[in-house]
Structure 1
Amino acid sequence: MSFRAGLLLIGALLLTGCKAEPQAQSPRVKAAGFDAIYVWPGVRPGPDSVAKTIYLLDGEVRRNGPARLERLRMGVPKLPGRSVWLVVRAERLDWNDATYAAILGDIEKWQTAGNDIVGLQIDFDAATRGIEGYAAFLRTVRERLPKQWKLSITGLMDWSAHGDPQALAGLAQTVDEVVVQTYQHRSTIPGYEQYFARMERFPIPFRVALVEGGEWTAPPMLERQPNFRGYVVFLLNPAKPKR
């Protein structure tokens, strides 16, 4: 065996003897330890859930056809001892009087059934550069929503990086909280740490929405941010992805 061939053989043996260290994964989100959850129709909290605040999807205002509330629940939920947010998913913002009447009527029915209704949440994917127009719609919602109920919205992590500060300040005058979505479908969006590093001056009280089973390590700066109000875990149906 030549000297060169011997070196190659030694190198190959060294390489086969070395195994790459596996990358450490972030812990997986377990809903049982959180006090606020999202519950979509067809999904049930586990028996070990300690959640005292529940965001329940009532229906959708869909893109096609007239603007109306398409209810997704059979009957009225009854959750005594829990704080409940009625959630409406919106694909459009040209709501008419009938749309508002249906949504506000459901809030009243839920409360009459014995639920402690905190308020209404609108789940709408507002583009970062469209916050100003979205804020105008939300002002109308706030005017129609009786004052005893709060107004919550979902928001994108990108708002913290590229959102117009003036538009965000306008939102702060209208909504009571933003729930920042950190996931898409069943997975946590990579690079979330970078977004939360920019939220020190975010002007609106916010919660952070995590997906059940997704990876999550809390950024160190998050707990120090003055408007941070905790987490909401989006529960998953094992059989069907919900988002």
Structure 2
Amino acid sequence: MVRTNQYTEFWVWGGVDASRIQPYSKRFYILQGAITEPSRGSVFTRQGMQAANEFGAVVLVYRLNTLTWNRKIHDTLLNHINAWEYRGNTVVGIQLDFDARTKNLHQYADFLRQVRQDLPSNYRLSITGLLDWANQGDPASLQSLHGVVDEIIFQTYQGKHTIPNYPAYLKSLAKFHFPFKIGLVENGDWDSRYEDELSQSHYYRGAVVFLLPNPPHTADGIK
């Protein structure tokens, strides 16, 4: 089981009391909102947490359902960075959460190059990734992300539950030649021995835990 007190990096979505894990946390990935494309063009919709001064190192997260951005979207992201820094936080960078189909990775890579070009060089660019990418993705498309994004976090869960056959995918990740992390869900099924195996890779950077709004207590009372 994924226990928060065994990790130091966390995703914080709306409705989460982050204070319960702050004593041992080092980095927060904090949802800022969604970027969509209704009929009038790309639009940002606020979700999650606004700038606060109780964190430290933060990565600002944006959910995407479009790869068509206008200048206003880029300006919005920079305004968010400035707001969090004004509150005394260290903004490490931004993360984009987009479920790119495995066969369309090359298109996503082109989009990310443009984002990287527009993002000030002192901020890191992180993306989430599907486990399918490691098993079925075109190696050339994946490798083309090198030098564009700074990390990929492969999500081992869907919704509030761990993907049942996750071990089959992890073997492919161990061969991945790119800085990566794995995403876990709080209280999800998990065998930490797989982390030991992944740590043998020079490119493995650890795990990030998705915090649940109201996590259930286990039998021994530990969350």
Q: TM-score, normalised by structure 2?
A: 0.89
The corresponding residue for 1:78 is 53
Could you tell me how far apart the structure 2 residues matched to 1:112 and 1:164 are? 41
Q: Deviations over 1:145-187 (max 9, x none)?
A: 0001000000011111111111111111200000110000111
Kept in 1: contact 2:30–2:48 (CA 8 A):
no
Could you tell me how far apart the structure 1 residues matched to 2:208 and 2:96 are? 15
SS at match of 2:208: strand
Could you tell me how far apart the structure 2 residues matched to 1:196 and 1:121 are? 22
Could you tell me how far apart the structure 2 residues matched to 1:208 and 1:228 are? 9
1:57-96 equivalent positions in 2, closer than 5 A: 57-65=31-39, 66-73=41-48, 75-80=50-55, 82-96=56-70
The corresponding residue for 1:6 is none
SS at match of 2:99: coil
Whether 1:235 and 2:211 are equivalent positions in the alignment is: yes
Corresponding letter in the other structure for 1:79:
E
Could you tell me how far apart the structure 1 residues matched to 2:202 and 2:165 are? 22
**Are the structure 2 counterparts of residues 103 and 48 from structure 1 closer, same or farther at C-alpha, using a change threshold of 3 Å?**
closer
Kept in 2: contact 1:168–1:203 (CA 8 A):
no
1:208-219 equivalent positions in 2, closer than 5 A: 208-218=182-192, 219=194
Give the gaps of 5 or more residues in structure 1. 1-27
Kept in 2: contact 1:200–1:226 (CA 8 A):
no
Instruction: Write out the 4+ residue segments of structure 1 that deviate beyond 3 Å after TM superposition.
Output: none
Query: Identical aligned pairs, as a percentage?
Result: 38
* Alignment partner of 2:154 out of 176, 180, 183: 180
Q: CA RMSD in A?
A: 1.6
Corresponding letter in the other structure for 1:124:
F
Corresponding letter in the other structure for 1:146:
P
Corresponding letter in the other structure for 1:99:
I
The corresponding residue for 1:25 is none
**Are the structure 2 counterparts of residues 173 and 229 from structure 1 closer, same or farther at C-alpha, using a change threshold of 3 Å?**
same
**Are the structure 2 counterparts of residues 63 and 182 from structure 1 closer, same or farther at C-alpha, using a change threshold of 3 Å?**
farther
1:44-55 equivalent positions in 2, closer than 5 A: 44-45=17-18, 47-49=20-22, 50-55=24-29
**Are the structure 2 counterparts of residues 73 and 191 from structure 1 closer, same or farther at C-alpha, using a change threshold of 3 Å?**
closer
**Are the structure 2 counterparts of residues 210 and 75 from structure 1 closer, same or farther at C-alpha, using a change threshold of 3 Å?**
closer
Give the gaps of 5 or more residues in structure 2. 216-223
Q: TM-score, normalised by structure 1?
A: 0.82
The corresponding residue for 1:111 is 85
The corresponding residue for 2:170 is 196
**Are the structure 2 counterparts of residues 74 and 195 from structure 1 closer, same or farther at C-alpha, using a change threshold of 3 Å?**
closer
